């Protein structure tokens, strides 16, 4: 029952993880699932980092293969970038297409995979089915245990794990055994022992945040603890070499040596974007600091998301969401009830009066605000 409750909570939280809108505590980085509900999430996502709970995809596009899952009257289908329905809404759930052109869908309570033509190529026999990774493997739940199948639906890594998530670009996948997390390789061999409290993913810079005995620290590529677990929360290192950490309810930033370089003085903090700015919260308002801890965009916002690669960030002003540039200028007026960050393909989704649509970088609607839900 405990595992089932955690899974249900995870799926509910995924629905809002890309939104700019809920002000809550962050969650650990885990590999991307291309929109498939993440079975590992147990805490809310941080609105300042829209990639927090599933990890940023290597190609972080809203549309995958030019298609986007949408819900209409309780059923899911796929639209193209012109808003045309190209795969009719017939599924209980549908998730974004992976690079191999397969997407997980739910039919009669079971998961299978369709191709870009909407043809069922892997029959719906799984309790859960998540995204295919670049290595051609996908985690599936068969009779309550997770294993990994290939693109032909053949079980390559036997279903022996309590939970499992998609392989990362480093060829490792995070798995759960007896409520502890570790990593396996593509042969199914455990390479990082399952001793951690929450899911992990090894990152290219060689330092990965892990939770052990209730505290967060960092391990290297060999699984050795190099920054001792002493924080209430810790996140991945950004490109500028800084990582956000929390201790006793306050947030700041450390470097890769574990030294505090921006003092823990903030009520909440996001990780640094590629432009070198991070969202922070002080006295219930959000602004942006640089790597020196200097406030470069004043804390005037009720919410403030991470800057996207196009230099725009989602912010909340007077109860509505819009987008600012790196100078703090409002370039898309705050008129939406909620909004996501801009994905790498130049689209963001928006919500107004309970319906979802898609805008481009000019703020123009490219998909009408007509859908019950959009999933990325």
- Check which CATH number belongs to the domain holding 232 and give it: 2.20.25
The residue-averaged pLDDT of 130-137 equals 96
Query: In this structure, is residue 106 part of a structural domain?
Result: no
As a whole number of angstroms, the distance between CA 133 and CA 301 comes to 37
Query: In this structure, is residue 281 part of a structural domain?
Result: yes
DSSP letters spanning 306-334:
---TTS-EEEEETTEEEEE-TTS-EEEEE
- DSSP 3-state of 85: strand
Query: In this structure, is residue 229 part of a structural domain?
Result: yes
The residue-averaged pLDDT of 38-48 equals 31
Judged against a pLDDT cut of 80, whether residue 154 lies above it is answered with yes
Phi and psi at residue 349, to the nearest 5°: -100, 155
Query: In this structure, is residue 173 part of a structural domain?
Result: no
Range(s) of the domain holding residue 281: 203-305
Residue 1: partners with Cβ closer than 8 Å, 6 or more residues away: none
Query: In this structure, is residue 136 part of a structural domain?
Result: no
Least confident of 56-65, 70-79, 352-361: 56-65
CA triplet 263, 44, 75: central angle to 5 degrees? 150
Q: Record the pTM.
A: 0.83
pLDDT in tens, 212-237: 999 999 998 788 999 999 999 999 99
* pLDDT at position 221: 79
Burial 262-279 (b: 16+ CB within 10 A, else e): bebebebbbbbbebbbbb
* pLDDT at position 29: 26
**In the structure, what pLDDT confidence band is assigned to residue 50 with cuts at 50, 70 and 90?**
very low
The residue-averaged pLDDT of 21-38 equals 34
Q: Which residues pair with 349 in a beta bridge?
A: 358
Query: In this structure, is residue 239 part of a structural domain?
Result: yes
pLDDT in tens, 247-263: 999 999 999 999 999 99
Q: How would you classify the pairing of strands 120-126 and 128-129?
A: unpaired
- DSSP 3-state of 55: coil
* pLDDT at position 341: 95
Total count of domains within the chain: 1
pLDDT in tens, 167-210: 988 889 999 999 999 999 999 999 999 999 999 877 765 799 99
Query: In this structure, is residue 211 part of a structural domain?
Result: yes
* pLDDT at position 169: 84
Query: In this structure, is residue 61 part of a structural domain?
Result: no
């Amino acid at each position: 029952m405990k595992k089932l409750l955690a899974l249900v909570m995870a799926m509910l939280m995924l629905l809002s993880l890309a939104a700019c809108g809920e002000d809550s505590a962050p969650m650990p980085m885990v590999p991307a699932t291309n929109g498939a509900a993440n079975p590992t999430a147990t805490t809310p996502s941080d609105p300042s980092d829209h990639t927090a709970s599933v990890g940023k995809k290597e190609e972080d596009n809203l549309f995958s293969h030019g298609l986007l899952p949408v819900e209409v009257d309780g059923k899911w289908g796929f639209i193209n970038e012109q808003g045309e329905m190209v795969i009719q809404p017939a599924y209980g759930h549908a998730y974004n297409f992976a690079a191999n052109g397969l997407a997980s869908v739910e039919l009669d309570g079971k998961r299978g995979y369709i191709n870009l033509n909407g043809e069922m190529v892997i029959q719906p026999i799984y309790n859960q089915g998540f995204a295919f990774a670049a290595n051609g493997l996908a985690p599936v739940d068969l009779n309550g245990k997770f294993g990994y199948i290939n693109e032909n639906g053949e079980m390559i890594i036997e279903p022996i794990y309590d939970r499992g998530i998609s392989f990362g670009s480093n060829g490792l996948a995070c798995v759960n055994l007896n409520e502890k997390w570790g990593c396996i390789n593509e042969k199914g061999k455990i390479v990082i022992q399952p001793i951690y409290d929450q899911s992990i993913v090894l990152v290219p810079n060689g330092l990965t945040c892990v939770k052990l005995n209730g505290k967060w620290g960092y391990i290297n590529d060999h699984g050795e603890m190099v920054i001792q677990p002493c924080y209430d929360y810790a996140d991945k290192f950004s490109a500028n070499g800084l990582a956000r950490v929390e201790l006793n309810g306050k947030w700041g930033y450390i470097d890769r040596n574990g030294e505090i370089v921006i003092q823990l003085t903030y009520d909440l903090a996001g990780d640094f974007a590629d432009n070198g700015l991070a969202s922070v919260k002080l006295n219930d308002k959000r602004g942006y600091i640089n790597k020196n801890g200097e406030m470069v965009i004043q804390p005037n916002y009720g919410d403030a998301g991470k800057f996207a690669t196009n230099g725009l960030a989602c912010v909340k002003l007077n109860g509505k969401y819009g987008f600012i540039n790196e100078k703090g200028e409002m370039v898309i007026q705050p008129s939406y009830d909620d909004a996501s960050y801009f994905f790498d393909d130049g689209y963001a989704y928006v919500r107004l009066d309970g319906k979802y649509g898609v805008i481009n970088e000019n703020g123009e609607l490219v998909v009408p605000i007509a859908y019950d839900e959009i999933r990325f």
